[in-house]
Amino acid sequence: MTKDEARGLGWLLGFVIVTATAVALMTGCGASARQKTVNAAFVVIDAGCSKFAEYDLAHQRQILAASADRATFDAAIGKWRATRDKVQRDCTAAYRADAVAATLDNEQSFAALKAAASIVYDEIKALGVIK
């Protein structure tokens, strides 16, 4: 991922989250506004987690290229995959929260979705996938 792409994705994620939250708050989280936010959250989660999957491939290739021997590779790839697995689990949790919110369409599921999406966003940002 280039710096421009990362910057663009970061801007997109931030914009959609802030806009969607603002719309939901201004409209008192009515059913229609909430549903639009659930739809927008899917786009954000899918964009972030898909970009993370691309980053995972590129990062693993870098680890392999930088490793001179099997032991070095095993240690480095094991460390990265442990981190990657946690983010992937949180991505799955965010997708599921979105599916539940789309089905139930209530305040409780909506709050759970916002929390799950925020966790994924923070993790991907902390790893430097987005700025």
**100 lies in the site for another protein, by CB under 8 A:** yes
Q: Which of 19, 39, 106, 118 binds another protein (CB under 8 A)?
A: 39
Q: Does 83 bind another protein (CB under 8 A)?
A: no
For position 50 contacting another protein by CB under 8 A, the verdict is: yes
Q: Residue count at the site for another protein (CB under 8 A)?
A: 33
Binding status of residue 96 toward another protein by CB under 8 A: yes
The 3-class SS string of the chain reads CCHHHHHHHHHHHHHHHHHHHHHHHHCCCCHHHHHHHHHHHHHHHHHHHHHHHHHHHHHHHHHHHHCCCHHHHHHHHHHHHHHHHHHHHHHHHHHHHHHHHHHHCCHHHHHHHHHHHHHHHHHHHHCCCCC
**Which stretches of the chain bind another protein, using CB under 8 A?**
35, 38-39, 42-43, 46, 49-50, 52-54, 56-57, 60-61, 64, 67, 69-70, 73, 77, 81, 84, 88, 91-92, 95-96, 98-100, 102-103
